[in-house]
Amino acid sequence: MRIVIIDDSGLRATVLEEGLREAGYDDIQIVAPQGAFVARLERMAPDVVLMDLGNPSRDTLEEMLVVSRALAKPIAMFVDRSDDVMIGAAIDAGVSAYVVDGLRKERVKPILDLAIRRFNAFARMQAELDEAKTALADRRTIDKAKTILMSSRNLSEPDAYSLLRTTAMNQGRRIVDVAEALITASSLLGPSS
């Protein structure tokens, strides 16, 4: 597993690195949050990112949250102090673990495991949500195509669906693709009722 530590304080990064090495991780890189470091991080392709911000200013926190959104990887953020606004911003940006005043090398492995598990759980939920939205959009498209067929061919709803399904099977296409083609053709040929 490739782990990147974002830290501008060598001492604090050393604590994280020691905790990771003691936990058996050896592909560890430390990056200072300077210059075009987000692009550098993307090229490194880390599996997990640990951000050690100490006492972050609002600007620093915002910059780190941009990193979180850009990478879409498990991210654990260590800070010395925080408030509700900072915590909310970190959660909204997708930070998997937000640790206040908890930088000790023996805590690094459990926090890393937590960040990975939370990220994976969130990614699964996001994938399920995206799948449900796609299914709903497909259902609406198919319903619209059935309405067009019912109106233009004087078919019942089951017969309209059957015609869509049979056409999709005969053409080796998905039913939603046939429905989209029908809707497009109908809009080109004239208004549907």
Question: What is the value of pTM for the model shown?
Answer: 0.66
Residue type, 117: R
Residue 58 has pLDDT above 70, yes or no: no
Does the domain at 129-189 match CATH 3.60.150.10? Answer given as: no
Reported as type and span, the H/E element at residue 40 is: helix 37-44
Query: Which part of the chain has CATH 3.40.50.2300?
Result: 2-103
Query: Which part of the chain has CATH 1.10.10.10?
Result: 129-189
> 105-116, pLDDT tens digit by residue?
788 888 888 888
Q: Which of 126, 59, 113 is nearest to 86 (CA)?
A: 59
Q: Class of the 2-103 domain?
A: alpha beta
pLDDT of residue 42: 83
